[in-house]
Amino acid sequence: MERVFNFSAGPSQLPLEVLEQAQQDLLCYPGAGCSVMEMSHRSGSFEEIIHNTEATLRRLMDIPEDYAVLFMQGGASLQFSAVAMNLAKQGQTTNYAITGQFAGKALEEGKRWTNAKAITSSKADTFSYIPKITPALIDPDAAYLHITGNNTIFGTCYNTLPDTGDVPLVADWSSAILGKQIDVKRHGIIYAGVQKNMGPAGMAVVIIRKDLLKREVDPIVPAMMRYKLMADNGSMYNTPPCFTIYMTGLVGQWVEKQGGIAAMEQRNAEKAGILYDTIEQSQLFHNPVAKEDRSIMNETFTLPTEEETKAFLKMAEGRGMINLKGHRSVGGCRASIYNGMPKEGIEALAQCMKDFENGLRK
Amino acid sequence: MERVFNFSAGPSQLPLEVLEQAQQDLLCYPGAGCSVMEMSHRSGSFEEIIHNTEATLRRLMDIPEDYAVLFMQGGASLQFSAVAMNLAKQGQTTNYAITGQFAGKALEEGKRWTNAKAITSSKADTFSYIPKITPALIDPDAAYLHITGNNTIFGTCYNTLPDTGDVPLVADWSSAILGKQIDVKRHGIIYAGVQKNMGPAGMAVVIIRKDLLKREVDPIVPAMMRYKLMADNGSMYNTPPCFTIYMTGLVGQWVEKQGGIAAMEQRNAEKAGILYDTIEQSQLFHNPVAKEDRSIMNETFTLPTEEETKAFLKMAEGRGMINLKGHRSVGGCRASIYNGMPKEGIEALAQCMKDFENGLRK
Contact A236, A163 (CB under 8 A): no
Q: Hey, is the C-beta of A220 within 8 angstroms of any chain B C-beta?
A: yes
pLDDT of residue A328: 85
Residue A270 pLDDT greater than 70, yes or no = yes
Residue B171 pLDDT greater than 90, yes or no = yes
Q: Which of residues 104-123 of B touch A (CB under 8 A)?
A: 105, 108-109, 112-113
Instruction: State the Cα torsion B100-B101-B106-B111 to the nearest 10°.
Output: 100
Characterize A228-247 residue by residue with b for buried, 16 or more Cβ atoms within 10 angstroms of its Cβ, and e for exposed.
Answer: bbbbeebbbbbbbbbbbbbb
Q: Taking CB atoms and an 8 Å cutoff, what residues of chain A touch B16?
A: 27
pLDDT of residue B52: 98
What is the C-alpha separation between A360 and B245, in angstroms, rounded?
41
One-letter amino acid for residue A149 of the chain = G
What is the pLDDT averaged over residues B84-108? 98
Kindly report the average pLDDT of chain B as a whole number.
97
For the four alpha carbons of A67, A69, A75 and A78, in that order, the dihedral sign comes to negative
Q: Are strands A93-98 and A145-148 parallel, antiparallel or unpaired?
A: parallel
Q: Which of A37, A43, A101, A250 to mutate to test the interface with B (most CBs of B within 10 A)?
A: A37
Residue A2 pLDDT greater than 90, yes or no = no
CA distance B199 to chain A (A): 8
Q: Hey, is the C-beta of B238 within 8 angstroms of any chain A C-beta?
A: yes
Asked whether the beta carbons of residue B40 and residue A8 sit closer than 8 angstroms, the reply is yes
Residue (of B48, B106, B101, B41) closest to B77 by Cα position: B106
pLDDT band (50, 70, 90) for residue A361:
confident
Cα of first residue to Cα of last residue in chain B, in angstroms, is: 19
pLDDT of residue B1: 61
Asked whether the beta carbons of residue A35 and residue B19 sit closer than 8 angstroms, the reply is yes
Q: Taking CB atoms and an 8 Å cutoff, what residues of chain B touch A203?
A: 202
Q: What are phi and psi of B110, to 5 degrees?
A: -60, -40
pLDDT tens per residue, range A301-345: 999 999 999 999 999 999 999 999 999 888 899 999 999 999 999
pLDDT tens per residue, range B178-221: 999 999 999 999 999 999 999 999 999 999 999 999 999 999 99
Domains and CATH numbers, chain A: 16-257 (3.40.640.10), 261-357 (3.90.1150.10)
pLDDT of residue B361: 79
pLDDT band (50, 70, 90) for residue A1:
low
SS3 B335: strand
Name the residue of chain A whose CA is nearest to B72's CA: A74
What is the C-alpha separation between A338 and A9, in angstroms, rounded?
9
What is the pLDDT averaged over residues B244-272? 98
Q: Taking CB atoms and an 8 Å cutoff, what residues of chain B touch A75?
A: 73, 224, 238-239
What is the C-alpha separation between A82 and A229, in angstroms, rounded?
12
pTM for the whole structure: 0.98
Kindly report the average pLDDT of chain A as a whole number.
97
Calculate the alpha carbon distances from B227 to A80, A114, A202, B191, B206 in Å.
Answer: 17, 22, 18, 12, 9
What is the pLDDT averaged over residues A120-148? 97
Q: Give the ipTM of the model, two decimals please.
A: 0.97
CB neighbours of residue B250 within 10 Å: 24
Q: Taking CB atoms and an 8 Å cutoff, what residues of chain B touch A41?
A: 11, 201
Residue A25 pLDDT greater than 80, yes or no = yes
- Work out the widest C-alpha separation in chain B, in whole angstroms: 64
One-letter amino acid for residue A39 of the chain = M
Of A13, A81, A225, the CB nearest to B38: A13
pLDDT tens per residue, range B133-153: 999 999 999 999 999 999 999
* A120 bridge partner residues: A97
Q: Are strands A204-209 and A189-193 parallel, antiparallel or unpaired?
A: antiparallel
Residue B329 pLDDT greater than 90, yes or no = no
CA distance A284 to chain B (A): 27
